[in-house]
């Protein structure tokens, strides 16, 4: 507190009680920020896993779509089979 008053002399006129209340409120904000950062840190691996799983599924669908088209173009799949598969994708 004294360090703050040295850096900001204009704060020396503030009532001591008000200054203590401000410091207590700052401590509460600091604790909340620490809890939020901890939650983010702990949830990051799960979010990363979900994102990678989603990305892998998208890649598989893309390559399966290419394979299905390659089967359809030479006539190995009929139109109704092809349409049905595309609806599922």
Q: What residues does each domain of the chain span?
A: 2-88
33 has a pLDDT exceeding 80 = yes
Name the nearest CA neighbour of 68 among 84, 53, 56, 55.
84
Q: What is the pLDDT of residue 88?
A: 66
Residues 72 and 82: beta-carbon distance below 8 Å: yes
Q: What is the pLDDT of residue 59?
A: 77
Q: Count how many residues are written for the chain.
A: 89
Residues 48 and 30: beta-carbon distance below 8 Å: no
Q: What is the pLDDT of residue 20?
A: 84
> Whole-number mean pLDDT of the chain?
78
What is each CA distance from 87 to 64, 81, 84, in whole angstroms? Answer: 13, 10, 5
The pTM score is: 0.44
For residues 73-77, average pLDDT: 74
């Amino acid at each position: 507190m004294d360090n703050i008053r040295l850096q900001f002399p204009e704060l020396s006129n503030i009532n001591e009680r008000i200054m203590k209340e401000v410091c207590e409120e700052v401590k509460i904000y600091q604790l909340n920020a620490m809890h939020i950062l901890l939650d983010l840190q702990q949830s990051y691996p799960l979010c990363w896993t979900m994102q990678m799983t989603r990305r892998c599924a998208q890649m598989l669908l893309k390559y399966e779509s290419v394979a299905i088209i390659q089967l359809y173009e030479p006539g190995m799949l009929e139109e109704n089979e092809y349409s049905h598969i595309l609806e599922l994708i």
